[in-house]
Structure 1
Amino acid sequence: MAHRISDSQLNRALHDLPDNAFVMMFGGLSTEHDASLAGYRNICANLLQGDGSAHLKFAIYVGRDGQIFRVDGPDFPASETELRRLQPLSFDELAQLLRNEDAFVFNLLHGTGGEDGVFQGWAEVHGIRGSFGPVLPNSVGMAKWVTSAVAEKFLPGLNTPQTMMVRRGIADRALRDVPLRFGSRWVVVKPGSMGASLLTTKVQADDATTLAARVAEIHRFDDVALVQEFVDGQEYSCGVIEVAGCAEPLPCVRITTGRPFFDHEAKHRPGAAHHTIVDDDLAKDLQCKSADLFQVLGIFGWARFDYLVGADGRVWFLEVNTLPGMMAGSIFPEALAASGRTFSDLIRLLAAAEAATHRNHRVLRYEIGS
């Protein structure tokens, strides 16, 4: 199945895009607040360096406590101390402001309370234009065990690691079944709906004490912990953007690290991981899989898909990020640059995708007999 569009189609799509002025929302209540803040700083730096023609009108900072602040330029403050000195807004005032401005909103609220359908629903109810996308794909994307089930259902032959759910409240009973399922093999214990590989560790399945401790730590932040078979393989990631109604895969990235796997430290400590753009048959296969998943899951605008490839060449789908990280050194910005596109191009393409979104009729009147 072909997903790429021709250069002439792309150039025509970029030429016909709407106004490049946008508003950015960042920060948030989630555990990924710092990643969002770092992404905001990186985007501002790129825009100041003359990245294309996108213009940031103002930004909206959502504090760790839920307070909202309007951030104006030309020198957009970058530290939390500066940001929290600004005049706070209520949610009602924010909705009215964004409606009145009628500017495209670039959503950079990662994780729970931003990437999981919460702000997507808020934006839809209030009629706010932006990169939020529909509620369902974002909610599914944040629930890793649901994503895997949907992906396997609609893309037969796609491999996903064997996984057990451990819900808060019934953890003791579920954990007793772990060695029955996995024996003494290595497993990965991770949150069901948190990003950035936070609290993700490698444990032996029959190490009951360590397993219980890791799950208890996750349950402080997430209702669901996942115990997943450890797949020893090479990590890959592939971004996808929506261009003129098509799922357009970005160049594929191979990730190498000296860590036991691509964990939180490998992702966020400079020099702990190395990214390589690859263009071989495997990369093309991952690009096709990513574009298919993008369409199957009904994702809006952009996303990043993560995989493991075993020594036998078997491909394992891990998860999707419906709001990829935009920090300096993050995978998605590197792949975007390798495709020859700038952040400004991304904003323009997202705005065009939002403008072309079909709005279904909401009212179908019918009579209910007495």
Structure 2
Amino acid sequence: MGGVTLKVDDLEVSLVFGGMSPEHAASRASFSFVYQELTAQNSGVALRNIYYVDLNNRITCRPFKQNALAEDYMRPSEPVDYAAAADMMSRDTGYLFNLLHGNYGEDGHVQGLANLLKLRGSFGPVLPASLAMSKVHMQRYVSGYQKIVKVPDTGVVTDSSKSPDTATLLGKFGGTKVVVKPNSLGASLFTECYTVTEAEVPRIIENLALISKYDERALVQAFVSGTEYSIGCVRLDNRVVALAAVRIDTARGFFGHKEKHRQGNVEEILVEEDRPVISQLKAMSCELFDDLGFAHMCRFDYIVTGCDDIYFLEANPIPGLMRNSIFPKMLKKSGMSIAQLIRHFSCQDAVKLHKRSVYDYSID
């Protein structure tokens, strides 16, 4: 295990990124930006170790080296399995900042392991991670908890259900626009908008088949016309704070994979004034954050129609931290750096009261 010479008040931080996930590339891009931010002069953070999880779910640990590039940490070298890596992490003196997106990093798997081993880091609890990873179940929870929130009319296609045919799709959605998306993948992978016509149905069915190779559930949702907003929340000093809201404008009125990851297809505009509906979105997001028990951060996405009806889309417990991502823009507008955010998380975790796990009782 490595490290660097510390200033007295520097926080030691180790980073975990990569992952056996379709979002591997997104995690690498998040790591690159966070690495750049944390290695900036006077960041208040001293990097200690970098854990790279490769596409085979094996982990390479490298000590941080001055002047090393982010790319230098992105190749396997004598990788070990999770059991060995978890042992290294349990002995790591750095605060572990989790940048694993999607499967096995954001869905409760790593969170459960971290809690069992009492790893010191930003992994958070299992429940909100697992629930947020399933869009359809999170939507059901939110619509039950927040009565003023609507969710799009949704059809769910599972491995065990019969894939919809032309007649079924035309019967339910004929002539209308729908959004087809995976239930549990991020980065808007395979997310596309269609008008349900006989000519388009084969493309819909083809996309559903593609999604089924990566996800147990595919969603066919009624398209909701309106303005998309993203609300970021963080826990600071043990209270939930909403960051600056972002309005998402696209040429075709739809925020898909192309819009999210290709420059020039979207404008992400920081909302300067909190008109009533924005204040409502922020208050609601803070309530959801607290009720589900998110420990550190989450980004909630909504569509607001022209009549100010609110539709909930999804929650992202480990929002993208790429250079041009929404969450870093929210942080910057709120006057907070990535390094300051991690320091807040570390301080909160240091004083967190842990519940007892063992109680001795007799059974006759």
> Given the two structures, how large is their TM-score scaled by the length of structure 2?
0.91
Is the aligned partner of 1:220 residue 2:196?
no
Is the aligned partner of 1:274 residue 2:270?
no
Gapped runs of 5+ residues in structure 1?
1-17
Distance 1:117 1:51 in 2: 34
Give 3-state SS (helix, strand or coil) of 1:305's partner: strand
Give 3-state SS (helix, strand or coil) of 2:318's partner: coil
Distance 2:39 2:13 in 1: 15
Is the aligned partner of 1:103 residue 2:98?
no
Tell me what 2:280 maps to: 285
| Aligned match for 1:64, one of 55, 58, 73 | 55
Once the two structures are TM-superposed, the CA of residue 184 in structure 1 deviates from its matched residue by: 2.6
Residue 270 of structure 2 aligns with an amino acid whose one-letter code is I
Is the aligned partner of 1:155 residue 2:150?
no
8 Å contact kept, 1:189–1:228: yes
Matches within 5 A, 1:39-50: 39-50=30-41
8 Å contact kept, 1:154–1:296: no
8 Å contact kept, 2:152–2:221: yes
Higher RCO (CA 8 Å, separation ≥ 6 residues): 1
Tell me what 2:172 maps to: 181
Aligned residues: 351
Once the two structures are TM-superposed, the CA of residue 173 in structure 1 deviates from its matched residue by: 5.6
Is the aligned partner of 1:255 residue 2:248?
yes
Residue 311 of structure 2 aligns with an amino acid whose one-letter code is W
Distance 1:189 1:311 in 2: 23
Once the two structures are TM-superposed, the CA of residue 162 in structure 1 deviates from its matched residue by: 1.4
Is the aligned partner of 1:317 residue 2:309?
no
Q: Deviations over 1:230-286 (max 9, x none)?
A: 011111111000011111000001111224511111111122211111123132222
Tell me what 1:352 maps to: 347
Is the aligned partner of 1:338 residue 2:333?
yes
| Aligned match for 1:240, one of 229, 233, 244 | 233
Once the two structures are TM-superposed, the CA of residue 36 in structure 1 deviates from its matched residue by: 0.6
Tell me what 1:170 maps to: 161
Q: Deviations over 1:113-155 (max 9, x none)?
A: 1000010011111221111111111000000011011111111
Distance 2:173 2:195 in 1: 9
Tell me what 1:129 maps to: 120
Q: Deviations over 1:68-109 (max 9, x none)?
A: 1113222344337x6325332332331222222232110000
Tell me what 2:5 maps to: none
8 Å contact kept, 1:28–1:113: yes
8 Å contact kept, 2:35–2:70: no
Once the two structures are TM-superposed, the CA of residue 174 in structure 1 deviates from its matched residue by: 8.3
Distance 1:176 1:295, change over 3 A: farther
8 Å contact kept, 1:107–1:132: yes
Distance 1:255 1:295, change over 3 A: same
Gapped runs of 5+ residues in structure 2?
1-8
Distance 1:229 1:236 in 2: 18
Distance 1:319 1:267, change over 3 A: same
8 Å contact kept, 2:37–2:339: no
Q: Deviations over 1:187-208 (max 9, x none)?
A: 1010010001100111234544
| Aligned match for 1:78, one of 47, 70, 78 | 70
Distance 1:19 1:169, change over 3 A: same
Tell me what 1:5 maps to: none
8 Å contact kept, 1:31–1:111: yes
8 Å contact kept, 2:12–2:93: no
8 Å contact kept, 2:320–2:327: yes
> Given the two structures, how large is their TM-score scaled by the length of structure 1?
0.89
Give 3-state SS (helix, strand or coil) of 2:149's partner: coil
8 Å contact kept, 2:148–2:310: no
8 Å contact kept, 2:60–2:79: yes
